[in-house]
Amino acid sequence: MKSKFIICHYDEIGLKGKNRKFFEEKLRDNIRQNLKKIMSDKVEGFEYIKRISGRIIVKLTEDGEKKEEEISRALQNVFGIAYFAFAVSCGQKMNEIKKTALEILSEKKFKTFRISCQRSKKEFPLTSQEINEQVGAHIVERLNGKVKLENPNVDCFIEIVDSFTFLYLEKIRGAGGLPSGTSGKVIVLLSGGIDSPVSTYYILKRGATAIFLHFHSLPYTSPASLDKTKELATALNKFQLNSKLYLVPFIEIQKQIMTKAPAKMRVILYRRFMMRIAEKISKKEGALAIVTGESLGQVASQTMENMAAIEECVKIPILRPLIGFDKKEIIVKAEEIETYEISILPHEDCCSLFVPKHPETKAKIQEVIKAEKDLDIKKLVEEAVKTLAISE
């Protein structure tokens, strides 16, 4: 039997009080955009998509019904959905509900089953429990199934809501989180490594929109590292609608730091320049924070002292979604979100150039400021911003 509707359930949006409508509408729009991405221009995959009480429903066209697998994959990346289901619908008379339950269950092989009704329409004459019992009895009689409330072979879900009745046999887990575009913009410092893409995933999951910023040392590093960063940005854009990638030449700043500042301070000074440039871009973009892939103590530049020294030069908040993650946990997530294979391709990061043997691990802010005294900070930042490129 073909599915006619997709029912999308969410949980956290339900807690949003007065903002609820805003969150639900964003989620509806995001679902629409994601469905459009997988349908060709000529094919309308769905007749309508709308909010009904506590859910977003999509009425599929015949063409849409044929694309169940692709739709399912796409919806699993839409933040804000707790779970969704491909459902059939019928009228609200008990004999129609029984008939439809029988139809969908007839297509399955099972011994034990359960009926799980959710009745959001309170005027409906029967309680959920009464519906479960009546539909259950019908299935026992017609299909010889046995009711089992714990771990049945098959669960038949019935939702009675507004003027609709939906029935389905499978709940598909969604990505959770909050709908993309509900928490404001951030500038993500995206390197070619494993951590920053995972960090991006977590900030996107909380409803932020990411604008990517990558520093490169062309011609000292290969153009392949830029391709890799673009590939990572594309991979991450499956969790949001498209976004920009800023590509900033960093070699001039690195050369100046190499020649004019103590070697042990290099990485900290690189990072401070990255933050200053990111802050400038955030103003232009209306972004509210900078996001990095740092995790406490993972490498020398990520000690508490060094992170404090790095962020001292900007006012904008710096968010570090991975701060408490172990490398292993980050890798597991990177594999799951399909960025790992891209991240492990060989590349040179701008920061792996000219790295000293003994970097500072407990930077003191006064010493860091002193280390920068011979650098024309304002000019270097302006130059970098002037020469940046944007890849859409």
Give backbone dihedrals phi and psi of 132, rounded to 5 degrees, phi first: -55, -45
Q: How far is the CB of 327 from Mg ion (least distance, A)?
A: 12
How buried is 237 (Cβ within 10 angstroms: 0-12 exposed, 13-18 middle, 19+ buried)? Answer: middle
Residue 360: name its binding partner from ligand ATP, Mg ion, none (Cβ under 5 to 8 Å by kind): none
Q: Which residue's Cβ lies closest to Mg ion?
A: 193
Q: How far is the CB of 352 from ligand ATP (least distance, A)?
A: 8
Nearer to Mg ion, 52 or 345 (CB): 345
Q: How far is the CB of 179 from ligand ATP (least distance, A)?
A: 24
Q: How far is the CB of 216 from ligand ATP (least distance, A)?
A: 7
Q: Which residues pair with 250 in a beta bridge?
A: none
Quickly tell me which residue has 């408490």 as its tokens.
Answer: 324
CA 207 to chain centre: 8
DSSP code per residue over 53-113: TTEEEEEE-HHHHTTHHHHHHHHTT-TT-SEEEEEEEE-SSHHHHHHHHHHHHHTS--SEE
Q: How far is the CB of 270 from ligand ATP (least distance, A)?
A: 8
The contact pattern for Mg ion, residues 328-357, with x = CB under 5 A and - = no contact, is: ---------------------x--------
Distance in angstroms (rounded) separating the CA atoms of residues 388 and 246: 7
DSSP code per residue over 155-168: EEEEEEETTEEEEE
> Is residue 191 near Mg ion by the rule CB under 5 A?
yes
Binding site for ligand ATP (CB under 6 A): 189-191, 193-196, 213-215, 274, 292-294, 298-299, 301-302, 349-351
Residue 334: name its binding partner from Mg ion, ligand ATP, none (Cβ under 5 to 8 Å by kind): none
Q: What is the DSSP letter of 178?
A: B
Nearer to ligand ATP, 156 or 194 (CB): 194
Residue 24: name its binding partner from Mg ion, ligand ATP, none (Cβ under 5 to 8 Å by kind): none
For Mg ion (CB under 5 A), the number of binding residues is: 3
Quickly tell me which residue has 């500072």 as its tokens.
Answer: 360
Catalog residues that contact Mg ion under the rule CB under 5 A.
191, 193, 349
